[in-house]
Amino acid sequence: MGATVLSLDETKTASARQRLEEVVRRIAVGNDQFRFALLRDSPVDSGLIDHGDADLLGTRESVTALLRMLLERALAGEVHFRVTANKPEKLQLSVFSTDLAHSATYDLWVDLAQIHEGRSLIRFEDVAPLLSQSSGIEPLPPCIAGALYLQHLIAKRKPLTAAHTSSRIESFATHHCSDSSCGVARWFRDILRVGRIRPPAPSEAAIQIERLLQIRLDDERHRATSRWRLRRKIESGDAVCIQGVDGVGKSTLISALVEEGTAASESLIGKKLYRRSLIYRMATRTARHRASNAREAIDERLATIVFLRAVSAFRRTLAWRRLRGAGTLLVDRSPLDFLYLGRKSDHGRFHPAIGRLESLAPSTPTIQLVAPHTVTSARKPELTEAGHVAYDDAMLLRIAGQSPCDHLVFHNGGNVSESSIALAAYLTRFIRTRGRKQAA
């Protein structure tokens, strides 16, 4: 992917926060890779770190390009990053310093369904004519930003007295505009005066959005539709699946975490979810089929059966552990990983049936370990660099495109002890995992 790996001396010189600041700067300027509209006034430079979040509206292509850029930076050892989502139209992106002490958070919207109390939406192409930059993050003009923020407060039923909300209300109340039809200052001054949003402000804000964007919010294109979702989120902390290319250090890191005992109580090799089955044992009953490369060939030929068997066994395992009140289980690979074919070739790809099957798997938190190819090839020389890049890219985009999801991309190219300490802190703080000491 063209990632530049920091040398040991450079890593010591550049602090973890400084490297995070540089990545935040890259996001702000875009480098001709992606383009976002800043929906509400907030810093997009180092001032964003450890202070709130930035709401951005962009296309799916821009979201994909941003994730790929961050994957490069994670491979280079500059940051870790986390993608979470509860609905298809929005994901939250948290970019962490390598010591996990600092973070910058972005809410990335593809469909902004917050108009008319969530019945209407706008997309990036609606606001793009109002922007002048060709890449990076650019604030919306205050006239449209104020109208959208009023609709946001109504749709989300935000308490108007919260510190960050009242600050933005005061900012919009002082808006000065040459457009005599703009109602932003009047709406927000009224909110400050009476402490609530009164008619006709909501309808006027919607009309202002239509006028400035030259759209119709009641047409089919801007009507928000409810989405039925099959996947349910497993209670946080039951299990965490660890992904990554061969040689990235999954087994070593999992063993260190379980041995330390505060973040997880047990581990499970994911392949055991299907290799214990009668069908699989019959398929590999001869000595010739029990060879490592022969088993991998069988795994790929039976990918859909392997996946379904793994899903069934995984669900039973989670249900039994929950009944016992057991701590968190760390799983070396998730069922989704068994639908990835050709992982040791230059052309790895997901099984064609992935779109129909992935919703059957439990939605557990996942961690994708990444490291430069120079690190992984020393342990697994049979893995090609092109295959390494293809796996990292495909796995990130597949999981980040799911809803719900909770996916951390974690740089694992350094010291095992340091990685296990950092990851244990992440698991106990953000995923609220339960280790042996906690379970006891």
Residue 289 pLDDT exceeds 70: no
Total count of domains within the chain: 2
- For residues 333 and 398, state if they share a domain: yes
State which of 169, 195, 222 marks the end of a domain: 222
- pLDDT given for residue 8 in this prediction: 39
Residue 229 pLDDT exceeds 60: no
Is 231 inside any structural domain? no
- pLDDT given for residue 395 in this prediction: 97
- For residues 286 and 257, state if they share a domain: yes
Q: What is the pTM of this model?
A: 0.92
Is 234 inside any structural domain? no
Helix (H, G, I), strand (E, B) or coil at 122: strand
Q: What is the CA radius of gyration of the chain?
A: 24
- For residues 110 and 191, state if they share a domain: yes
- pLDDT given for residue 4 in this prediction: 43
Average pLDDT on 168-172 reads 95
Q: Are 23 and 99 in contact (CB under 8 A)?
A: no
- pLDDT given for residue 232 in this prediction: 62
- pLDDT given for residue 302 in this prediction: 87
Instruction: Please state, for a pLDDT cut of 70, what percent of the chain lies above it.
Output: 91
- For residues 203 and 299, state if they share a domain: no
- pLDDT given for residue 2 in this prediction: 45
Is 197 inside any structural domain? yes
Tens-place pLDDT, residues 124-165: 999 999 999 999 999 999 999 999 999 999 999 989 999 889
If pLDDT is split at 50, 70 and 90, which confidence band does 438 have?
A: low
- For residues 119 and 151, state if they share a domain: yes
Helix (H, G, I), strand (E, B) or coil at 364: coil
If pLDDT is split at 50, 70 and 90, which confidence band does 252 have?
A: very high
Tell me the C-alpha to C-alpha distance, in Å, between residue 138 and each of 55, 64, 133: 11, 18, 7
Residue 255 pLDDT exceeds 70: yes
Is 3 inside any structural domain? no
Is 157 inside any structural domain? yes
In terms of residue numbers, what domain contains 360? 239-439
- For residues 128 and 208, state if they share a domain: yes
- pLDDT given for residue 231 in this prediction: 53
- For residues 56 and 190, state if they share a domain: yes
> What is the rounded CA–CA span in Å between residue 241 and residue 246?
15
- For residues 261 and 392, state if they share a domain: yes
Say which CATH number the domain at 387 has. Answer: 3.40.50.300
- For residues 213 and 254, state if they share a domain: no
Residue 403 pLDDT exceeds 70: yes
- For residues 16 and 141, state if they share a domain: yes
- pLDDT given for residue 9 in this prediction: 41
Average pLDDT on 57-71 reads 98
State which of 187, 222, 257 marks the end of a domain: 222
Question: How many of the other CB atoms lie within 10 Å of CB of 295?
Answer: 16
Mean pLDDT lowest for which of 19-28, 281-290, 394-403?
A: 281-290
- For residues 288 and 366, state if they share a domain: yes
- Cα 225 to chain center, whole Å? 23
Is 247 inside any structural domain? yes
Look over the chain and give the mean of its residue pLDDT values, rounded to a whole number: 90
Residue 226 pLDDT exceeds 70: no
Residue 53 pLDDT exceeds 70: yes
Q: How do beta strands 53-57 and 35-38 pair?
A: antiparallel
Residue 5 pLDDT exceeds 50: no
Is 1 inside any structural domain? no
- pLDDT given for residue 291 in this prediction: 61
- pLDDT given for residue 290 in this prediction: 57
- For residues 95 and 186, state if they share a domain: yes
State which of 173, 191, 222 marks the end of a domain: 222
Phi/psi at 264 (5° precision): -150, 150
Tens-place pLDDT, residues 71-129: 999 999 999 999 999 888 999 999 999 999 999 999 999 999 999 999 999 999 999 99
Is 228 inside any structural domain? no
